């Protein structure tokens, strides 16, 4: 099978590197190494942090993007996950840094390199209308509301949101039933059960599914303990979670997730194409996959 290069629009780091803390040199190293795993484009994802640290992380990512070479995964923009979320569904995020959803608060960290923002629509105080004019993808996540008008997509569907309900509305129910919404999904076998995956793949148009890893700095590294989102995270070789058992993110790259979906009979090549359409991009390389879904060859144009 031949597909375009994969685009990762939601991940916090790997190879021991955390986008919230990394300098430009670390980010350049990551963007070069991740190509070996078939990822040709990335949206470094910043977890909820202080305004000062968020601005510093944005500056370092932009600095790296400005000096990339052709053998690196393209840094396509920043995914800001946090600051404007609902504390009720904060997950691993530090609630001390969460701010009201106002344009003035966004201006504290605003940058034209932010291309995706995860927020809680039910708490909006004018921020969504402000973002609509800024060419920013608005995704509902870490939220409880079911009214998703104005959203382009949903962040890691099922996780950190109000679940499927047979009465009233919920975030997950709207994600499944609104064919206009793109739906991120973490198909690592830990964040979402295979039955829930099957439901999403059955009811959503295939062209609206976006596979994400949401992977952490410990991915593809020897790290077993680290600080993420101001909390100590423990990685046992399979799962990364806080001392209280809260999942902090996955420990798989997209190539691992795609191979797993193939093995359980749920992979659709359309999933790899979808981020290109979502972000209005043309492919700039391809992957040759073996029958067992190991990567045979990667070509960047």
The Cα 192–Cα 188 span in angstroms is 7
pLDDT of residue 77: 98
**Could you read off the pLDDT of 3-16 as tens digits, one per residue?**
999 999 999 999 99
- Verdict on whether the full-model pTM lies above 0.85: yes
**CB-CB contact of 264 with 187 (8 Å):** no
Give the domain range for residue 212: 2-300
**CB-CB contact of 145 with 122 (8 Å):** yes
What is residue 258's three-state secondary structure? Answer: helix
pLDDT of residue 9: 98
Residue 211 has pLDDT above 90, yes or no: yes
Give the mean model confidence (pLDDT) for residues 67-73.
97
pLDDT of residue 96: 98
Tell me, what DSSP letter sits at residue 20? T
Give the mean model confidence (pLDDT) for residues 95-109.
98
Residue 244 has pLDDT above 90, yes or no: yes
Residue 217 has pLDDT above 90, yes or no: yes
Distances (CA, A) of 182 to 60, 75, 84, 113, 139: 29, 21, 20, 21, 9
Residue 234: burial class (beta carbons within 10 Å; 0-12, 13-18, 19+): middle
CATH number at residue 77: 3.20.20.140
**Could you read off the pLDDT of 137-170 as tens digits, one per residue?**
999 999 999 999 999 999 999 999 999 989 999 9
Give me the chain's average pLDDT, please.
97
**Could you read off the pLDDT of 172-189 as tens digits, one per residue?**
999 999 999 999 999 999
Residue 36 has pLDDT above 90, yes or no: yes
The number of distinct structural domains making up the chain is 1
Give the mean model confidence (pLDDT) for residues 25-43.
98
Report the sign of the C-alpha dihedral through residues 247, 252, 254, 259, in that order: negative
Q: How far is CA 67 from the centre of its chain?
A: 23
**Could you read off the pLDDT of 256-278 as tens digits, one per residue?**
999 999 999 999 999 999 999 99
| Structure-block tokens of residue 28 | 């350049």
Give the mean model confidence (pLDDT) for residues 212-236.
97
Query: How many residues are listed for the chain in this entry?
Result: 301
**CB-CB contact of 83 with 111 (8 Å):** no
pLDDT of residue 165: 86
**Could you read off the pLDDT of 113-141 as tens digits, one per residue?**
999 999 999 999 999 999 998 989 999 99
């Amino acid at each position: 099978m031949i597909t375009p290069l994969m685009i990762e629009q939601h991940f916090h780091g790997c190879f021991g590197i955390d986008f919230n803390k990394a300098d430009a040199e670390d980010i350049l190293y990551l963007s070069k190494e991740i190509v070996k795993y078939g990822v040709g484009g990335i949206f470094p994802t910043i977890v909820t942090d202080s305004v000062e640290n968020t601005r510093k992380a944005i500056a370092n990512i932009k600095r790296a993007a400005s000096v990339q070479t052709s053998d690196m995964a393209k840094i396509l923009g920043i995914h800001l996950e946090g600051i404007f979320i609902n504390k009720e569904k904060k997950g691993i995020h530090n609630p001390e840094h969460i701010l009201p959803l106002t344009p003035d608060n966004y201006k504290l960290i605003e940058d034209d390199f932010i291309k995706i923002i995860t927020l809680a629509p039910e708490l909006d105080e004018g921020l969504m209308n402000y973002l609509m004019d800024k060419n920013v993808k608005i995704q509902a996540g870490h939220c409880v509301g079911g009214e998703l008008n104005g959203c382009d997509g949903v962040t890691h569907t099922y996780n950190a949101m109000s679940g499927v309900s047979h009465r009233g509305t919920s975030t997950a129910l709207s994600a499944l039933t609104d064919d206009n919404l793109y739906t991120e999904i973490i198909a690592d076998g830990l964040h979402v059960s295979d039955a829930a995956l099957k439901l999403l793949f059955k009811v959503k148009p295939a062209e609206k599914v976006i596979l994400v890893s949401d992977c952490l700095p410990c991915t593809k590294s020897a790290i077993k303990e680290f600080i993420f989102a101001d909390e100590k995270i423990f990685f046992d070789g399979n799962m990364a979670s806080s001392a209280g058992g809260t999942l902090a993110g996955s420990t798989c790259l997209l190539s691992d997730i795609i191979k797993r979906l193939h093995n359980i009979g749920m992979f659709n090549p359309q999933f790899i194409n979808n981020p290109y359409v979502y972000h209005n991009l043309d492919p700039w390389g391809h992957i040759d996959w073996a029958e067992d879904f190991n990567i045979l060859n990667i070509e960047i144009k």
